[in-house]
Amino acid sequence: MSEGALAGIRILDLTQFEAGTSCTQLLGWLGADIIKIEPIGGEQSRRNRPEVPGLDAMFFLLFNANKRSVTIDLKQPDGRTLFLKMAEHADVVVENFAPGLMERLGLGWDALRSANPRIIMARLKGFGLSGPYHEYKSFDMVAQATGGVMSVTGFSDREPVLCGANIGDSGAGVHMAAGIMAAYIERQRTGQGQVVEVSMQESVANLIRQRYVAHYRDGKPTARRGNNAPPGAVPDGLYACAPGGPNDYVYIYVQPMNQDMWCDFARAIGREDLLTDPRCVDAPTRWKHVDELNAMARAWTGARSKQEVMTTLAKAGVPCGAVLDDQHLNARDAIVTIDHPTRGRFRVPACPIRLSASKPVTTPPPLAGQHTEEVLTEVLGLSPTSITDLKARKII
């Protein structure tokens, strides 16, 4: 495995689906040795809506790069014993199982701490480890509902809308990665491990903190806006561009408190006359004529491609963004091509964190159990005979 900023940190990864796997993949990008512990046959997201029967699903491939796979049957006593021996040589154990499963397996905090007092146990749950909901299962959409993001998305006269990005899953994964690194740094001072806990519900609530502040200040739920622009600003929102396809839009953001930004916009579209127009003297006045000014903006954007609109406005200092435009991502190698042993070549997002001293790489997600012999030999020093015996007894 390549050297990286977190080289030397060994993480036993018991995660599945997205929330936990996004956390460990991020740490793997940054150089940690991620040993993915899976049941024999592989964790269940390998089979989650597979595009090619018999091969790992893209859902799995997107969240499990930069890991080594070891298959162990943790339902067998000898499998649990093997895992605890590995924990003796690890820094972190990460899990996002259903509530109580680690304890039922005999692999809870007390067992891990007995095996290794320096171990960090990272636990990502839908509702955390305490509180009235802590025994309830959760997925991303449940976290979005209970965390409040659905209360601020969608249209005011219809039901709430699920955010397309899985912020309940991957957002919690990022928070967990930060928590793990905080515990690791603290361990350097104290020498002691600890439990790191992240709740998906709380992670979502944290991501929409501005709305929560408004809710508690006003003492009433925050209403859904019903469109893509906050009131009081114009132009501000999505504007259709040519040729009129499903993603031929650009988002333009002109803050109502910033008169200079409005002037930059007027000049960029060739409408210097608006600088002295009485309808445009300030933000409150412009808002009184929002329909007229939006029609003017749409007429200008509708005659141009989204890339032209974005380039023209952005160069003029107007914050804007073309919908689903990956030119910049590709230019920065934020989307990379990997070569997978069964799925062939395909493109995936790369690490979004850049370090000047070490460049994260993206290695193909492992096949189930691909590194079992390699890891058990490296970490525990098991002989080929011992490994053969474990296989014969279906422990690995």
Q: Tell me the catalytic residues.
A: 169
Tokens of 205: 């609530």
- Calculate ∠ Cα 127-130-135, nearest 5°: 60
Under DSSP, the state recorded for 364 is P
Q: Tell me the one-letter amino acid at 139.
A: F
| Nearest alpha-carbon partner for 36 in 374, 378, 369, 376 | 369
349 - beta bridge partners? 335
Give 271-285 as a DSSP string: -GGGGG-GGGSSHHH
CA atoms of 16 and 125, how far apart (whole Å): 12
CA atoms of 280 and 295, how far apart (whole Å): 14
Give 283-297 as a DSSP string: HHHHHHTHHHHHHHH
CA atoms of 92 and 124, how far apart (whole Å): 13
CA atoms of 315 and 93, how far apart (whole Å): 47
